[in-house]
Structure 1
Amino acid sequence: MKTKKERIFYYDFLRAFAIIAVIICHVDAFFGPLTNTTQIVAQMTFHDIGRIGVPIFFMISGALILNREYPSLKFFLKKRFVRIIYPFIFWIILILVPIAYTGGNQTYLWNVFTGNPSFTWYFWVLIGIYLFMPILNSFVKEYGDEALKYFLIIWFALMVLQTFHIELWEHLNLSYFTGYVGYPILGYYLANKEFKISDKKVCISGLIILLISLACFVYLNYIGSSAIESIYENVPMIFMASGLFLFIQYADKLNKFKSIKNNFIGKSIVSLSVCSYGMYFSHVIVTKFLSYYNPHSHLMFPVMFIIIVFLSWLLPYIVSKIPHLKRFSGA
């Protein structure tokens, strides 16, 4: 008889935060008119906190997938792709059919499907990472901590060069070390790293790193710096995601969440985590629908945001309870 796999709460917390963060990035239209600098900076800060969501998703994937034993390559690919492809097909049909019905042309529909530009870009990046993950898994299993440091040092160095728009000479091609693939490795590294300082100091350090890097990111965004043209592939974003990951991970180790784990708050966090992939798609439907009822009010924004998050969770949750549709729900 199969035993129920024990959940790791800080992964659930991070995943719940990540999906809420993604929604944050897509609800700017529900802010009222921005009439002064304070409002602009507040909106930017809110939005830039939301940017952390996607890197956190990738980091959790790496922490859970790397350095594992899999019966075969076919088993790994089937398990991972079934989990993401079925929900994608289900939700993309629900999203594209109304667009087509209301007059969307074929080019626009294709662009939404391929993520060019569209929220679906995350799905295609995830496909690419999963295709490469068995190779990374073997690499990490073979060389362990040494492999992680090797990859991360090169990846971070290239991220620094990219942030400051410094190009290497033409024939030194290190593109296979760049991009989103570094985040899963970073997530696994931080999840398993044993620091020489106390857990409390690591937790506080994570929070400080998060706040300082967020302030830098907001400032660069405010002045229109080209350093963050690639939103997820720059040094401030790496530190933001790392700081949040460590802060939540070690807060959990210090039992800071003990009082909420078994009550309504803890159960809500776990439910958001479980439904997060479905929410990534359903929030597009919810946001589009509620845009017709946008009050354009700073005071009403928190209410609209809570409604969007709730309905985005409710849709995949309901679908997951319908017989034969659970695998399509993303929950």
Structure 2
Amino acid sequence: MVKNRIFYYDLLRAIAIVAVIMCHVDPFFGNIDSFLNHTMHSIFHDIGLMGVPIFLMISGALLLNKDYQISDFLKRRFSRIFIPFLFWIIIILLVGYFYFNWDVNHLWNIFTGKKGIIWFFWMLVGIYLFLPVINSFVREYGLRGLEYFLAIYFFTVILKTFNHYPLFPTFDLNYFASFIGYPVMGYYLSNKDFKIADLKMCIIGLGIFLAFLAAYVASGIYHINIGMHYQNFINVMMAVGFFIFIQYLDRLDAFNAIKEGLWGKMIVSISICSYGMYYVHYIILRIIKQFDIHSNKYIIFILLLIVVSSWIVIYILSKIPYLKKVCGV
């Protein structure tokens, strides 16, 4: 099973879960009043914002253009996300009630995703409900059909980025502007032949990522409103650039030296554990927050502590009979 895995997807997924955790260690930063500290904080946070888009892009790359019955797809996919969700939401709510003394309203807000991290699960439910529809579209119209979809998607995202949407009260393009654009983009990038040399595509991807990361950081420093985090043009392009960069590095065999070694095995393991890590890191994060640590010197240490401890918890649970099916691997 491991031999049949696509390594650069595993690498992207491992980076994505680290990126998500980067976003959530924001409260541990210390003084960000100086320009340098504010810039470093913005870079740290904005890189983290591409975690969710990359997760969704990988899902699209793996799940679109497949031959399956809708009932079989929903049964398989929902069981893989719902059972770990149920397991971890019970633990999160119990820990919240007995350890953090959260009241009922706060617990309900956690469950519904108004607070905390559970919003990702409910968003994922919506994505999976719609994927069979997109899948049929891909099988019928191929990449040309997706170019039609993505053209409208980017147009709408640009409008939302600059807060000029909708143009008219009844002109609604939200069907294209939602999170579903990320899976579509992931499949498209994974299968499109751009007729450009792999090295040039790798450089282009890195250039796109760095350029839009710089734009994101600048927007934060100068307080420029660019719309919602995951539905603005800058974040979309940052994720697209990074996806292309890693994809074409893999085509250049840049990862051959680590695939079969310890680092490669660690990357695959983190990738496999990433969904469970998403839930358990929230508990670890909340516990560490109680120590009221705010220091720029220790931010990397805190990030590594949460990533490694979350990984170890899920890895151990995956080795225990019965818990493997519910822990999120």
Q: Which TM-score bucket, shorter chain as reference?
A: over 0.9
Specify the alignment match of 1:88 in structure 2: 85
Structure-2 separation of matches of 1:31 and 1:168: 39
Match of 1:113 in 2: 111
**In 2, Cα distance between the equivalents of 1:301 and 1:224?**
23
Partner of 2:151: 153
Q: Which moved more, 1:312-321 or 1:19-28?
A: 312-321
Q: Which residue of 2 aligns with 1:316?
A: 314
Q: Is 1:50 aligned to residue 32 of structure 2? A: no
8 Å CA contact 1:317, 1:329 repeated in 2: no
- Per the alignment, residue 137 of structure 2 pairs with 139
User: How many angstroms does 1:294 deviate by?
Assistant: 4.8
Kept in 2, the 8 Å contact 1:202–1:250? The answer is: yes
Structure 2 unaligned blocks of 5 or more:
none
- Give the Cα separation in 1 of the matches to 2:243 and 2:176: 22
Task: Using the TM superposition, give the Cα deviation of residue 143 of structure 1 relative to its aligned residue in structure 2, in angstroms.
Answer: 0.7
Q: Which residue, 95, 99, 105 being the options, matches 2:96?
A: 99
Tell which deviates more after alignment, 295-304 or 198-207.
295-304
State the partner residue of 1:74: 71
Matches within 5 A, 1:191-230: 191-227=190-226, 229-230=227-228
User: What SS does the corresponding residue of 2:194 show, helix, strand or coil?
Assistant: coil
What secondary structure sits across from 1:213 in the alignment?
Answer: helix
Following the alignment from structure 1 to structure 2, what is the Cα–Cα distance between the partners of residues 258 and 294?
42
Partners in 1 of 2:297 and 2:110 — Cα distance? 32
**Tell me, what secondary structure is at the counterpart of 1:144?**
helix
CA distance in 1, matches of 2:2, 2:218: 46
> Which string of whole-angstrom CA distances, capped at 9 and with x for unpartnered residues, describes residues 66-100 of structure 1?
00111x21110001000000111111111110211
Q: Are positions 1:176 and 2:175 aligned together?
A: yes
Following TM superposition, by how much is the alpha carbon of 1:31 offset from its aligned partner in structure 2, in angstroms? 2.1
Kindly state the Cα deviation for residue 172 of structure 1 after the two structures are TM-superposed: 2.4
1:280 and 2:278 aligned: yes
Q: Is the 8 A contact 1:180 1:233 kept in 2?
A: yes
Q: Tell me, what secondary structure is at the counterpart of 1:7? A: coil
Distance 2:208 2:6 in 1: 23
| Aligned CA-pair RMSD | 1.3
Asked if the contact 1:213–1:240 (Cα under 8 Å) also holds between the matched residues in 2, the reply is: yes
Q: How far off is 1:142 after superposition? A: 0.5
Among 287, 300, 304, the residue aligned to 2:302: 304
Tell whether the 8 Å contact from 2:13 to 2:271 is kept in structure 1 after alignment.
yes
Matched residues, number = 327
> How far is 1:186 from its partner?
0.4
How far apart are residue 5 of structure 1 and its match?
Answer: 6.4
1:162 to 149, 157, 160: 160
CA distance in 2, matches of 1:87, 1:280: 11
Q: 2:25 touches 2:299 (CA, 8 Å); kept in 1?
A: no
Letter in 2 for 1:89: L
Residue equivalent to 2:128: 130
Write out per-residue CA displacement over residues 175-200 of structure 1, whole angstroms, 9 at most, x where no aligned residue. 21111010000000000010111000
Structure 1 residues 273 and 81, CA, compared in 2 at 3 Å: closer, same or farther?
same
SS of the residue corresponding to residue 61 of structure 2 reads helix
- CA distance in 2 between counterparts of 1:125 and 1:298 reads 32
Structure 2 matches for 1:254-269, cutoff 5 A?
254-269=252-267
The one-letter amino acid paired with 1:305 is: L
Moved more, 251-260 or 27-36: 27-36
Give 5+ residue unaligned stretches, structure 1. none
Residue type of the alignment partner of 1:250: Y
**TM-score, length-scaled by structure 1:** 0.96
